[in-house]
């Protein structure tokens, strides 16, 4: 089974506020009530991209990005204003998130050989991030090891 029972339980208990995504607790399937189908997202583009860590997006780029290790997505993130700075912070290990801690343990030579990035421009990355995380994790049959945050808990009414 590609997901641990904890990961599956966490994904079933989360919902992406504002994105129109919801999860059917019985089947575990994601439903997009916003009317956008998966084909309207750019998931495949993120899977196929393998930019060197020296080839980062323009500073003003906003959207969704992935960090890969040996072509396996290890982190999916978002940036609302300056993706280049966000990626540099993660890659250099200058943040307290799991991706930063992990990157800090890797040598510069290893990063140059094994780490690649990809990104897509998205107008409202906060609204789309959960779709990309769920979709890309499903497509590679494993949760990105440095994405610990599984979304916001379902609001109780």
pLDDT in tens, 95-109: 889 999 999 999 999
User: Rounded CA gap, 48 and 140, in Å?
Assistant: 12
User: Rounded CA gap, 52 and 156, in Å?
Assistant: 43
CB 144 within 8 A of CB 133: yes
- pTM here is 0.72
pLDDT at 79 over 60: yes
Number of domains in the chain: 1
Tell me the three state secondary structure of residue 90.
Answer: helix
Token digits for 146? Answer: 């440095």
Residue in the structure block whose two tokens are 């990355």: 125
CATH of the domain at 101: 3.40.1440.10
CB 53 within 8 A of CB 116: yes
Residue in the structure block whose two tokens are 């906003």: 62
User: Rounded CA gap, 55 and 156, in Å?
Assistant: 44
User: Rounded CA gap, 138 and 147, in Å?
Assistant: 14
Question: Which residues form the domain of 103?
Answer: 5-153
pLDDT at 31 over 70: no
pLDDT at 130 over 50: yes
């Amino acid at each position: 089974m590609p997901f641990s029972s904890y990961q599956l339980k966490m994904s079933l208990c989360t919902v992406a506020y504002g994105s129109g995504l919801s999860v059917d607790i019985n089947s575990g399937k994601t439903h997009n009530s916003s009317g956008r189908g998966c084909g309207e997202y750019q998931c495949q583009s993120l899977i196929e991209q393998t930019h060197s860590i020296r080839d980062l997006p323009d500073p003003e780029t906003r959207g969704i990005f992935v960090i890969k290790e040996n072509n396996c997505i290890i982190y999916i993130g978002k940036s609302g204003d300056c993706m280049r700075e966000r990626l540099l912070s993660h890659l250099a290990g200058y943040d307290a998130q799991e991706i930063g801690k992990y990157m800090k343990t890797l040598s510069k030579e290893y990063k140059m050989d094994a780490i690649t990035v990809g990104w897509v421009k998205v107008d409202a990355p906060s609204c789309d991030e959960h779709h990309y995380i769920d979709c890309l994790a499903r497509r590679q049959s494993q949760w990105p090891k440095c994405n610990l945050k599984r979304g916001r808990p379902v609001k109780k009414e």
